[in-house]
Amino acid sequence: MIKAHRLIIRLQEVTRIYQVGVERIHALNGINLQLRENEYVAVMGPSGSGKSTLMNVLGCLDRASSGCYELDGQDTTSMSDAALARVRNERIGFVFQTFELLGQLNALKNVEMPLIYSPDGWQSRRKRAQAVLERVGLADRVKHKPNQLSGGEKQRVAIARALVGNPSILLADEPTGNLDSTTSEGILELFDRLHQEGQTIIIVTHEEHVARHAKRIIRLRDGRIYSDLARDHDPAYKNAKNGGSQELA
């Protein structure tokens, strides 16, 4: 009997409301969502659909206005700012479109940064950083600074930095947005391999070829989930696979 993967994310009736002058903007409007360990999910939607807000809530970068968000069985809703910061550092790995590397530090030291408050000694931190750089194919670039790396190599460093703390979730925001198509494919193949190794991955994207790598596609519109399907059952994906030109939105 195959053991079911444990539930790691549960959102119940989550809303996020912004006050802009006298106007109340409902960025998220009653989101219900469950994700299990080792899922590979693409979150999609047009500008203003709420996908960036959802990413910020999932990553504990922002708080829901109402509803419940449980991560690894813990309700984050009433956590203090310090507790949320610990959650971000220990359970969530972030990958951004713009890499967000520190230019004065080499690849190895950039990857070590999330471990700065770890109780482990510097030798242990250094060993972990080296191992994860090898894992993303950069064993020969550990002493290179960002300005000595290609765009694809910078993103691999960023992915290594996201992985070094063994996070429950790898959360990627348009991770190929600054890369050419060939380099993008290499990064997506790396995500595929990480998923095969057991990593839970959530990618926020508007690009068809990125979503095709995920196993589940969640579509947002006006702050609501209007479609949540396994990739092979998504109409836009099936259309594209069969030679159609419909875009994933």
- Class at the top of the CATH hierarchy for domain 39-65+85-241: alpha beta
Q: Which DSSP letter does residue 107 get? A: H
DSSP code of residue 231: G
The closest of 2, 78, 50, 60 to 219, measured between CA atoms, is 50
Give the angle subtended at the CA of 168 by the CAs of 166 and 172, to the nearest 5°.
95
**Residue 59 token pair:** 């990553």
Beta strand pairing call for 66-71 and 7-20: antiparallel
pLDDT value, residue 41 = 97
User: Dihedrals φ, ψ of 29, to 5°?
Assistant: -135, 70
What are the extents of the domains in the chain? 39-65+85-241
Q: Which residues fall within 8 angstroms of residue 166, CB to CB, at 6 or more apart? A: none
Mean pLDDT per block of 10 residues along the chain (249 residues) reads 75 95 93 96 93 95 95 91 90 94 96 86 90 96 96 96 94 93 94 96 92 95 94 72 53
- The dihedral through the CA atoms of 132, 135, 140, 144 has a sign that is negative
Q: What is the pTM of this model?
A: 0.89
